Chain A
Amino acid sequence: GESVGLHLPTLSVQEGDNSIINCAYSNSASDYFIWYKQESGKGPQFIIDIRSNMDKRQGQRVTVLLNKTVKHLSLQIAATQPGDSAVYFCAESYSGNTPLVFGKGTRLSVIA
């Protein structure tokens, strides 16, 4: 399939371990954040979102943490599986009514 990106920051984790993917966002006024997963040859897929009135939100096997003080977002994936191998993007928006601005992405590689 098509590679979604070369020369991206890469995180390699052992299957079954937890993964933490970090993102520094740019606009201090942003108040809505989304994590997307993009597999090779596919479009981005929504994983989880969080609004700025929260600092943590949990989904199935995923947790997003938001630190507004340092403009930092992280995605934690529990018990990482081979199917989690992909490029992960964070995206930010202001008031949910401005266009999403995507970060550069991190490639997650799961070692079986």
Chain B
Amino acid sequence: GQQLNQSPQSMFIQEGEDVSMNCTSSSIFNTWLWYKQDPGEGPVLLIALYKAGELTSNGRLTAQFGITRKDSFLNISASIPSDVGIYFCAGQRGNTPLVFGKGTRLSVIA
């Protein structure tokens, strides 16, 4: 099946630092989504991207749909303790179901 490579797998950062994570694929996608999962909860949609090159922000979060349509990036500025969680990317190709990355586990040190 289709694979999404999400990196890094985990990261430990100091409060106030900026965070960058990305997702890559060997296939082209026409939709990229970024989700966050808090411990013991279901994933929550953060940002949806529908056009190559699109840059979208949601508060301190910014995500970009790569020009090649094979990658996407998520940045978090000035991290705070509540940013802790697992961040998932997901891509969709045509009318097929979403494909999810394995997640980036973010830990914030106060």
Do A and B interact?
no
Question: Which A residues are within 8 Å of any B CB, using their own CB?
Answer: none
